[in-house]
Chains A and B, each alone.
Chain A
Amino acid sequence: MSNPVVEIKWLRKSFGTLEVLKGVDFNVNESEVVCLIGSSGSGKSTLLRCINLLEKPDDGSIHVFGQNILDVKNVDQYRANVGMCFQQFNLFKNMNVLKNCMIAQQKVLHRSAKEAEEKARFYLRKVGMEQFALADSNMISGGQKQRVAIARALCMEPKLMLFDEPTSALDPEMVKEVLVVMKQLAEEGLTMIVVTHEMGFARQVADRVVFMDKGVIEEEGDPKTMFTNPKSERTREFLSHFQED
């Protein structure tokens, strides 16, 4: 395939004596949607967090947009290009919805308040939350919070978006409203890496599914093959938990 956005080679990361990533090779191409699946503790979050440098890798290399990010001088500037959404949304509790979407634009990209507000409203509209612009960010539902968090990240106009279990903390009826938004982004060609347990979403939206197990990539492939005919026994076993219900 074409232009690689993320190229990870032999990535290793330990916390103390616990080796979490044991040599991960991982690529993502432009406009590709990659779903990262795997059981708890397999290192999915750690891999994502290494990509936007919230964790420091011990060994290996990570190139993003062709640049070795372990060498970048201005980490803040780099992070502004990579959006991230968290399981717990992490909306700024001291700000309303609109301000949540404006603050980083103003502080990091030095946009004027007017420009930041326009952008914020544009992306809030996109996720269906514009009429909540002035709402207290603590007073909206989980699904709404996550949509605002997505808008907040989009306001920085990232070229890569990382999602760490964006729907895992949501009630089932709210999962859909978030997935709808994510699917729309995928269709618009945004490059996305999504850690998820939503196999339906992975099957439908992902260009590629990557199964991580115990700190390594056990298997990867297009969703259809992975879900119907996985090569590895471990993958088969993991996926069987999802076929049951």
Chain B
Amino acid sequence: MQESFFRQVLDILQKYWPSMAIGIQNTLIISLTGTIIGLVIGLFVGGLRAIRLDYTASKSALIGKKILDFAGKVYIDVFRGTPMMVQAVFLYYALLNIVHWDKLGAGIFVISVNTGAYMAEIIRSGIQAVDPGQTEAARSLGMSNIQTMMNVVLPQAVRNAFPAIGNEFIVNIKDSSVLMIISIADLMFQSKSIAGSTFQFTATYGITAAIYFILTSTASLILNLIEKRLNRPRTSFPQSDTDPSSMSLATEKAGKS
């Protein structure tokens, strides 16, 4: 029994490896591209939502901000509050007549908008973790809300949120399997067709599970390495300090008297 299971596994791998490989490739393409586009959406939506206009903002800016905030909230709530499988079928058929979907494109689209909703919230909490003093300093130098967000707050928010952002990629590797519902040739879809022709369900899906596991653990390893790198100070700094007394001006001791 044991032996025959491994026999089956080896046979399937030998015979169907090329179609598994296509599945792996598509799964990776969809989840990686979807995560990146989702991050861009999240930066935009989350960043906009996190801007707090102060009293110096104009009326039209305030109104525009209200509308955008509302639209952002609807988007986030809808995509986080419905299953991705349902989003996939709905969007696929709803937009079928407008865009003549390339299957892979449809998959990337669904993953991107779905991930964008999660990313928006991840980015927003990343922004909330940024010290408000950073914003004050930027504003006191005359930087606008948007300049402050783009140059000071968002880079730090992304840094804070990096583990959560990376986690979305891992989630996407796994959850892109629901795209099988719109027949995208991802790893899950390929496995299903292999199982359908071999009738060896346990062996086939065993392989599938193992491959997903290898993909997610490799991804998480790489993300950890990046994380470590981000934690290193960016530049070395010189050995010598300045001795304050050597500065152009000597003062008598100025402390509390």
Contact = CB atoms under 8 A, between A and B. Distances in A.
A75 B249 contact: no
Interface stretch (A8-16, A101-109, A212-220): A101-109
Interface string A34-52: 0000000000000000001
Interface residues of B, number: 43
A176 B255 contact: yes
The winner among B137, B139, B156, B241 for most chain A CB atoms within 10 A is B137
In the A-B complex, the 8 residue pairs with the smallest Cβ-Cβ separation, listed nearest first, are: A80-B142, A135-B237, A177-B244, A90-B137, A104-B141, A128-B242, A90-B133, A108-B142
B190 to A, nearest CB: 42
Given A86-B133, A103-B141, A180-B250, 15 more contacts: A54-B140, A75-B56, A78-B142, A84-B140, A93-B131, A93-B134, A96-B234, A104-B142, A131-B240, A136-B235, A144-B241, A152-B141, A176-B254, A180-B254, A204-B252
7 contacts: A56-B54, A104-B142, A132-B237, A179-B254, A180-B249, A197-B256, A200-B253
B155 to A, nearest CB: 4
Given A76-B143, A77-B142, A140 B254 contact: no
Contacts of A183: 249, 251, 254
A5 interface: no
Contact of A56 (B55, B133, B136, B255): B55
B142 A138 contact: no
Interface stretch (B25-33, B103-111, B144-152): B144-152
Contacts of B256: 197-200, 242, 245
Nearest to A97: B237
A113 interface: no
Given A153-B141, A156-B141, A93 B253 contact: no
Contact of A198 (B139, B244, B255): B255
A199 B257 contact: yes
A176 B134 contact: no
B144 A76 contact: yes
Interface of A: 52-54, 56, 75-84, 86, 88, 90-94, 96, 103-104, 107-109, 128-129, 131-132, 134-136, 138-140, 143-144, 149, 152-153, 156, 172, 175-177, 179-181, 183-184, 187, 197-201, 203-205, 242-243, 245
Contacts, number: 148
B233 A136 contact: yes
B159 interface: yes
Interface string B196-237: 000000000000000000000000000000000000011111
A200 B131 contact: no
B64 interface: no
Nearest to B250: A180
A107 B147 contact: yes
B189 to A, nearest CB: 41
A144 B141 CA distance: 19
B238 interface: yes
A13 B7 CA distance: 81
A220 to B, nearest CB: 19
Contacts of A84: 137, 140
A79 B133 contact: no
Interface of B: 54-56, 131, 133-134, 136-144, 147, 151-152, 155-156, 159, 233-238, 240-242, 244, 246-257
A207 to B, nearest CB: 16
Contact of A136 (B143, B237, B240): B237
Contacts of B159: 94
A104 B138 contact: yes
B239 to A, nearest CB: 9
B257 A107 contact: no
The winner among A135, A152, A203 for most chain B CB atoms within 10 A is A135
Contacts of A136: 233-235, 237
B124 to A, nearest CB: 18
B255 A129 contact: no
Given A94-B155, A179-B251, A138 B141 contact: no
Contacts of B254: 175-176, 179-180, 183, 198, 200-201, 204-205
A86 B137 contact: yes
